[in-house]
Structure 1
Amino acid sequence: MVVRLRDVAAAAGVSDATVSLALAGNPRISAATAQRVIAVANELGYRPNSAARALRTESTRSLGLIVSDVANPFFGELAGAIERQAAREGYSVILCNSDEDADRQDDYLLNMLAGSQVDGVLLVPTSSTTPGLRAVASSGAKVVLLDRPITVSGNGTAANSLRALPSVSSDPGRALAEAAELLTTLGHERIGVVSPPLDTPLGRVRRKQIRDALVAAGVRSRDIFVEEGDFRLNSGYRATTKLLEQRRPTAIIAADGPMGVGALKALRAHGLRVPHDMSLICFDDAPWFDLFDPPLTTIAQPIEELAKSAVATILALLRDETGKQLPAAHPECRFIRRSSCGVPAE
């Protein structure tokens, strides 16, 4: 049986974060608590040498990569690009899939760092902040946030540590402006948006980015209708069905690839043809999107540039080269126009 960090926490009667900090030798944890945690970890057989090695020891030449959904084609492509880029630098990559589960994310994050399995971690966060993320940020572990932002409140030491985490993500501004201009030029005035979960920082940011681009192109704010999904195909189907039944837009923008495919399925289930009856644009550009009928118009994220920047940023942290000139932390997306957009139906 594999003993996990949460098993040690339960047996010691403390939080996961406290176990991580105690095994890392963090001075924020009292000596008595640290001794109890280490004793329980040794008794259960949970990496008994991890406290001695702490978070920073001799290099493992390995990086951790925690993605939120490995089934999402975007993250599959990004993981491959990061692995290739890391290999060029002499590093291997340990890939973990949190499956949009914050507890699973923290398990991977704390186990990899407290157990000294990797030198640093590239993390696609599942939510704003979690106990594990706060713990590793406070401990000074080498972590780079990837693709998704986090929201940090307060001004204490922990909040400042979270704000100090480097972040690498794409900039969709120009591509969204081109998409909005295309829709308004074609004559669309009522636009539906399938957004990420609005209780996440990415959901709120993406909704604002899309709304701002559409308003700047001349769409009235009251004619932009938002239904949230959860990054998965089925949620795109449900959100699009709501838009069709309640709002009747003439075009839809889906905020990621799987939700875009779900939107396309919903349109077909309602007997609507793309682009004759409804125009469709989605974020991300899976390799087969140009094989759909019709080929999907997309806002493509710069995967190779993201991978290059992410690996360069984590290695700069490891080598204490944060003042060194690095690749752009926010490379621009590209707008790829295909055949899924047309003039509104009469």
Structure 2
Amino acid sequence: MTTIKDVARAAGVSVSTVSHVLSGRRPISEPTRLRVLEAIERLGYRPNRLAQGLVSKSSRSLGLLVPDLANPFFGSMAEAMEIAAHDRGYSVILCNTNLDPKREADYLSMLLSRQVDGLLYFPGTRVPNRALLEAVAAGVPVVVVDERIDNLPGVFVDNFDGGRQLGRLLAQLGHRSLLFIGGPEGLPTVTDRLNGLRAGLAEGGSASATVNLLLRFGEYRASHGYETIHACAREGVFAAVGDERPTAVVAANDMIALGALRALRELQLQVPRDCSLTGFDGVEFTAMITPSLTTVQQPSTRVATAAVELLLQRIEAHEHHRDRERANHEHQPSAEATPVIPHVVLPVTLVVRESVAPPPQLR
């Protein structure tokens, strides 16, 4: 997809000059205007998707893309972001990508055509969507949330420390054989939570203790937790004796834990009598199910507020930069300083509830 920067490069002018030609709001010499129009036609650039959003006045609206609204974590986060944006005079357009790259690209195109001032983006896959990278290259302010993307500003929680707190707790209870049910392998949250779990198990156990950690990866969905437990049962994992049998299941999020709990019940394995179970995120239902779920609580309201504030800062910085470009002669662009990529990392809290206990052999 051709970007406004491609047009500027092909025409030998600045991005602001292309914007001025498209908007018609500033005088541009006729030879320069014709050169820009020729580049637009030759490259097949569609200004209604990107350029109009860059040159228009503020729409006082933000785009919010989440990967899975069926997960109450994203629902509660979206609600908190809408409240934070509303309090600051902005509306939010919510888009559920459902982990579909094509759907995500379509939504990005729609949001840009509606001239949103910036994007709040929850990545759902390891590889960033090309449409997102094109929007960033075109100058659209973007803040990522939950999963890190290289060279983009974002707001995250300390997933490593959350995993470490869980690992330390389970090791201190005496668990030495565990099943970790993760989301997509290689996703930053999955990697950080698993590495933290390993560190916590080492910190909480004796120096001579050997830990058996069985790993399974898939989607951040309840169905993955449910199917993984039954698959492990068919493999004889829960029929093993001694240290080979898992005495605790560590789910990488609360939805996976919910599916795992259902499957464990169907296998007549009681939590926590036969097997402890933990989650991650701290969504509301974790306190209401039986047994109540031990989990790592994310500060959703703080994350949402910090993400909205960071995005508004990026929007303001983008507008100042655009104003400076307009003040300079088109053939004498100002030197750009090396950009600082801000990352906000917030702490998490371990919430210990009924779903954990010492392993059966220690009771």
**TM-score by structure 2 length?**
0.76
Number of corresponding residues: 305
Closer/same/farther in 2, CA of residues 131 and 29 from structure 1, 3 Å limit: farther
Corresponding position: 1:273 with 2:260: no
Residue identity in the other structure for 1:184: A
Question: Is the partner of 1:79 in helix, strand or coil?
Answer: helix
Partner of 1:333: 348
Question: Alignment partner for residue 34 of structure 1, among 40, 51, 66?
Answer: 40
User: What is the CA RMSD across the aligned residues, in angstroms?
Assistant: 2.8
Alignment equivalent of 1:227, drawn from 216, 230, 234: 216
Matches of residues 5-20 of structure 1 in structure 2 within 5 Å? 17-18=1-2
Residue type of the alignment partner of 2:119: V
* Residue of structure 2 in register with 1:261 after alignment: 258
The equivalent residue for 2:360 is: 345
In the alignment, the residues of structure 2 paired with residue 174 and residue 318 of structure 1 have an alpha-carbon distance, to the nearest angstrom, of 31
Q: How far is the alpha carbon of 1:54 from its aligned partner?
A: 4.4
CA distances 1:294-324 after superposition (whole Å, capped 9, x unpaired): 11111111101101110010000011199xx
2:33 match: none
Question: Is 1:320 equivalent to 2:309 in the alignment?
Answer: no
- Residue 139 (structure 1) aligns with: 138
Q: Comparing both chains, which one has the higher relative contact order based on Cα–Cα distances under 8 Å and sequence gaps of 6 or more? A: 2
Q: Secondary structure at the match of 1:288?
A: helix
Whether contact under 8 Å (2:165, 2:197) holds in the other structure is no
Q: How does the TM-score come out when normalised to structure 1? A: 0.80
Alignment partner of 2:283 out of 282, 286, 293: 286
**Pair 1:124-2:152 in alignment:** no
In structure 2, C-alpha distance between the alignment counterparts of 1:137 and 1:218, rounded to whole Å = 46
Residue in structure 1 matched with residue 107 of structure 2 by the alignment? 108
Match of 2:165 among 161, 173, 178: 178
Equivalent position of 1:238 in the other structure? 227
Secondary structure (helix, strand or coil) at the match of 1:342 reads coil
Cα distance change, pair 50–251 in 1 and its aligned pair in 2 (3 A): closer
Is the Cα–Cα contact under 8 Å of residues 120 and 314 in structure 1 kept in the other structure? yes
In the alignment, the residues of structure 2 paired with residue 136 and residue 212 of structure 1 have an alpha-carbon distance, to the nearest angstrom, of 38
1:27 Cα offset (Å): 2.4
Residue type at the aligned position of 1:35:
E
Structure having the higher Rg:
2
User: Which amino acid in 2 is paired with 1:107?
Assistant: D
Matched-pair contact (CA < 8 Å) for 1:56–1:116: no
* Residue equivalent to 2:20: none
Among the aligned pairs, what percent are the same residue? 34
Q: Structure 2 vs 1, CA of residues 49 and 263 (structure 1 numbering), >3 Å: closer, same or farther? A: closer
Unaligned runs of 5+ in 1: 1-16, 42-47, 153-162
- Secondary structure (helix, strand or coil) at the match of 2:195 reads helix
Q: Say whether residues 1:206 and 2:193 are aligned partners.
A: yes
Q: Distance in 1 between matches of 2:291 and 2:219?
A: 25
Maintained 8 Å contact 1:177/1:214:
yes
Q: For 1:302 and 1:51, locate their aligned partners in 2 and report how far apart those are by CA, in whole Å.
A: 34
Map Cα deviations across residues 107-161 of structure 1 (whole Å, 9 max, x no partner).
2123312x143100000112222211221222221001111123x5xxxxxxxxx
Q: 1:217 to 1:64 in 2, by over 3 A?
A: same
Match of 1:62, as an amino acid? S
Q: Deviations over 1:155-206 (max 9, x none)?
A: xxxxxxxx1x201111134443332222112111111111111043433333
